[in-house]
């Protein structure tokens, strides 16, 4: 299935860009967050190349979470107007502090609402397989969910494949907590978990590239807008 995902998404985990888009355009005050993104990315790749796939999957979640937080700083106006930020954040507080306190769930909701990952990033023929895999992970990471809730999430995921990519990564990272396995009396099947983790790492690489592409496009738009303002002020 990993090979199939690579084929469908066109993702190459080995061809790292190390977030060059962010390095080129990110404001200086976001340098620390940029460095964190790059560090998690590099660690994810080291784990993946060492066949420590679960560790790579967990780090991929940290990488994506940091990238979303960085985008929240860059796209502050859109984020502050979003329903998700008003729901999960604390709009009355200092914005930058509010963003740093957002949980992964909130960052995913913001990204989905603002379409930071296009629904077209997942082709139609792959949506069913992505949905089925998501349900398999959910039954371990959130075993308290009933049949109706699982069915509802599966339907939502099929209709919102971009959001489902994020949730795949989040649910896999949730398996980091040993209490989930013990409390729900789930046996640890290492080979199966490793296969799932491989899939998550590929998905995270795709999400990373989508976010970087979105960021580049937005920066190009801003540069063009600034150029128009300059020409207007010069009367040209």
More confident residue, 103 or 236: 103
Measure CA of the first residue to CA of the last residue in the chain; give whole Å: 56
What is the share, in percent, of the chain residues with pLDDT greater than 90? 19
What is the chain's alpha carbon radius of gyration, rounded to the nearest angstrom? Answer: 19
User: What's the confidence (pLDDT) of residue 29?
Assistant: 56
CA distances for 152 relative to 84, 92, 143, 174, angstroms: 20, 33, 15, 20
More confident residue, 28 or 120: 120
**Token pair listed for 100:** 């740093």
User: What's the confidence (pLDDT) of residue 63?
Assistant: 92
| This prediction's pTM | 0.77
In whole angstroms, what is the distance from residue 114 CA to residue 76 CA? 12
What are the structural domain ranges in the chain?
18-234
Q: Which of 31, 50, 64 is nearest to 200 (CA)?
A: 64
Band of the pLDDT at 231, cuts 50, 70, 90? confident
Question: pLDDT tens for residues 157-213?
Answer: 777 877 888 888 888 887 777 766 666 556 666 777 788 888 888 888 888 888 888
């Amino acid at each position: 299935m990993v090979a199939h995902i690579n084929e469908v998404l066109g993702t190459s985990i080995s061809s790292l860009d190390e977030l060059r888009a962010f390095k080129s355009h990110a404001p200086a005050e976001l340098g620390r967050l940029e460095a964190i993104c790059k560090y998690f990315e590099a660690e994810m790749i080291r784990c993946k190349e060492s066949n420590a796939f679960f560790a790579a999957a967990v780090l991929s979640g940290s990488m994506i979470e940091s990238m979303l937080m960085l985008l929240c700083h860059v796209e502050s106006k859109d984020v502050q107007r979003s329903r998700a930020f008003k729901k999960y954040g604390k709009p009355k507080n200092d914005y930058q502090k509010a963003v740093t306190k957002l949980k992964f769930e909130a960052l995913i909701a913001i990204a989905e609402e603002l379409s930071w990952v296009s629904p077209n990033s997942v082709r139609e023929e792959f949506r069913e397989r992505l949905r089925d895999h998501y349900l398999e992970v959910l039954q371990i990471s959130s075993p308290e969910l009933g049949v109706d809730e699982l069915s509802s999430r599966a339907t939502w995921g099929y209709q919102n494949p971009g959001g489902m990519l994020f949730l795949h990564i989040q649910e896999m990272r949730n398996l980091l907590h040993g209490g989930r396995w013990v409390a729900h009396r789930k046996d640890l099947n290492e080979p199966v978990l490793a296969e799932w983790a491989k899939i998550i790492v590929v998905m995270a690489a795709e999400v990373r590239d989508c976010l970087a592409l979105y960021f580049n496009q937005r920066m190009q738009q801003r540069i063009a807008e600034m150029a128009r303002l300059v020409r207007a002020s010069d009367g040209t």
